Amino acid sequence: MTSKSVPELVFVPLGGLGEIGMNFAMYGFGPASRRQWIIADCGVTFPGPDLPGVDLVFPDIRFAESERENIAAIVITHAHEDHYGALLDLWPKLKAPVYATPFTAGLLEAKRQSERGVQPEIPVIIYDAGDTFEVGPFTIEAVAVTHSIPEPVSLAITTPAGTIIHTGDWKIDKRPSIGPLTDENRFRAIGDAGVLALICDSTNAMRDGDSPSEEEVGESLRQLIEEARGRVAITTFSSNVGRIRSIAEAARDAGRKVLVLGRSMRRVIDVASELHYLDGLPEFLAEEDFSYLDRNKIVILCTGSQGESRAALAKLSREEMRNVSLTGGDTVIYSSRVIPGNEKAILDTKNRLIEMGVRIIEDTDALVHVSGHPRRNELRQMYKWIKPQIAIPVHGEAAHLVAHGELAQSEGVNQVIQARNGDMVRLAPGIAEIVDTVPSGRTFKDGQIIADYEGAGIGERRKLSFAGHVAVCIELDERLEMIDEPDLVAYGLPEFNVRGENFEDALIDAASGAVSGIPRARRKNLDLVEEAVRRAIRAAARDTWGKKPVTTVFVTRP
């Protein structure tokens, strides 16, 4: 145990440990009573079908809010949604200075201008890979790494208690489409100077070997485009500017024009063009240009790799695009991976395209995608460079974190901490260990509202999605008799029950019977009548349907 007056270096993850996405890490230095903090990344994850109506999922940042006055900075490692996507919504709760690279800052501003409603103007301090800056007791160096987006960095965070490497997302790629390379020399130098802890990406910790290069993917795409007949549509992650460049170069070499579909894709291309990442390429065309292009002279670059219903590829599969279409004999290339939870939506889109006669090519058919995260050999290389005393696997589900932890031990790291969201890990002084827990979990963006599970009404909404809703009104006269039969409206229920009766009629009979079964003198208690009717309707539905709908009862009397 350490004294409360002794300065400590602690790590507190509020997102990204036990899941892939929603990254939010806090580093604190100082005595427990007056600790200063920095936040590394502020990301989102996306809702599945178990969260009907929810737009985005955020980390629960109550702990960060409680330390608001002591937060020296929010440092964003790169502009993927799971690392920066919560800034617009959560920054007003924290209002700490934000540090970001030019590409991240550009995307943040473009996103702010495109969002509905009034969005906060977040002051951003720009930094570049190789820069060093000081915030509070922390000296932060941005170390260049390779990933599937421009300008990703790892953070070397130096404090009086030691140096931490927060890798962010990274991989080793000797031939990326867009540089720079992962800075091996700088990592080696930092490792030789001594590193206390490595907080490292675990996404591909279960995959052996090394990642293929982005250049190899570009070569494979070029061959596929050259061999294709008819239109070629390629869907990829809109933030992967290197992949966009590879596709544009392949299309150019095959004598094809690139037409861009999807708001997020166009937004990224605009920002990347301003920063000269797409210099030297032919002009990208818009939807309105489709009609005059030869079918064999076009590549459609579009959003929708994850089956998003409103994205361009899904609309093409439903023939809902106003000016652009696909027909039999065309080719669709999925230059992407499947994010867990999106399997059904992706398959639905593919099946619609196949019904149209479109040929589908994905990463099981050809080298059309490579991950931006390190496989096991790349992780081993990082451990050899850094030689940390402590390893904490992050950015992964339990299986990834445990596999990464075992790899770290095999590389000679004696202190491997398996932390999860909400754990407070003391890194120094003394042996690294989990010393406390803080509030953690998830909050949900539903329209313009951000709330927890109950506050957003998600539990009730799920019930509605399973069993529908019944609303019934009972009107009593002065003698506490029903003036007429109950007024009832059912949403999301079958038209007939198992006995072939009209379902609403059967429920009206159940409601009438419940009121009649209450002695007239007791009907003065309207709450009692409401509850009796509610129970009767749910019981009648259960008996003849097998499900109990959400039921709302109104009882009135003079």
Query: From start to end of 53-182, where are the E strands?
Result: 56-59, 71-75, 98-100, 124-126, 132-135, 138-144, 153-159, 162-166
In contact, 258 and 231? CB cutoff 8 Å: no
The pair of three-digit structure tokens given for residue 4, joined into one six-digit string: 């409360």
Question: Tell me, what DSSP letter sits at residue 179?
Answer: -
* pLDDT digits 0-9 by tens, 382-416: 999 999 999 999 999 999 999 999 999 999 999 99
In angstroms, how far apart are the furthest CA atoms of the chain?
Answer: 90
The 3-state DSSP class for residue 460 equals: helix
- Confidence band of 253 (pLDDT split at 50, 70, 90): very high
For residue 553, the cross-strand partners are 472
**Quick check: 148 pLDDT over 70?**
yes
**Quick check: 460 pLDDT over 60?**
yes
Tell whether omega for the bond before 486 is within 30 degrees of 0, i.e. cis: no
The pLDDT value given to residue 119: 85
Query: From start to end of 17-79, where are the E strands?
Result: 24-30, 36-40, 56-59, 71-75
The pLDDT value given to residue 497: 83
Report the mean per-residue pLDDT for the chain: 95
Cα–Cα dist 77/487, whole Å: 58
**What average pLDDT score do residues 52-62 get?**
94
For residue 13, the cross-strand partners are 25
Closest among 297, 240, 293, 298 to 265, alpha carbons compared: 240
Question: Tell me, what DSSP letter sits at residue 295?
Answer: G
The pLDDT value given to residue 3: 63
The pLDDT value given to residue 300: 98
- Confidence band of 205 (pLDDT split at 50, 70, 90): very high
Q: What pTM value is reported for the model?
A: 0.91
Q: What proportion of the chain, given as a percentage, has pLDDT over 70?
A: 99
Name the strand (E) or helix (H) holding 391.
strand 390-394
The 3-state DSSP class for residue 505 equals: helix
Please count the residues of the chain: 558
* pLDDT digits 0-9 by tens, 113-128: 988 777 889 999 999 9
Half-sphere exposure of residue 402, counting CA atoms within 13 Å on the CB side? 3
* pLDDT digits 0-9 by tens, 347-356: 999 999 999 9
**Quick check: 260 pLDDT over 80?**
yes
* pLDDT digits 0-9 by tens, 308-349: 999 999 999 999 999 999 999 999 999 999 887 789 999 999
Amino acid, single-letter form, for residue 251: A
Domains along the chain with CATH numbers: 8-209+371-451 (3.60.15.10), 214-361 (3.40.50.10710), 468-556 (3.10.20.580)
The pair of three-digit structure tokens given for residue 463, joined into one six-digit string: 């019930």
In contact, 295 and 256? CB cutoff 8 Å: no
Long-range pairs for 285-291: beta carbons < 8 A, 24 or more residues apart: 285/257, 285/258, 285/259, 285/260, 286/259, 286/260, 287/259, 287/261, 287/321, 287/322, 287/323, 287/324, 288/323, 289/257, 289/259, 290/259, 290/323, 290/324, 291/323
Within 10 A of 6 (CB to CB), how many other CB atoms are there? 12
The pair of three-digit structure tokens given for residue 128, joined into one six-digit string: 């570049």
In contact, 125 and 72? CB cutoff 8 Å: no
- Confidence band of 50 (pLDDT split at 50, 70, 90): confident
**What average pLDDT score do residues 127-143 get?**
98
The pLDDT value given to residue 498: 83
In contact, 335 and 237? CB cutoff 8 Å: no
The pLDDT value given to residue 327: 95
The pair of three-digit structure tokens given for residue 466, joined into one six-digit string: 């399973």
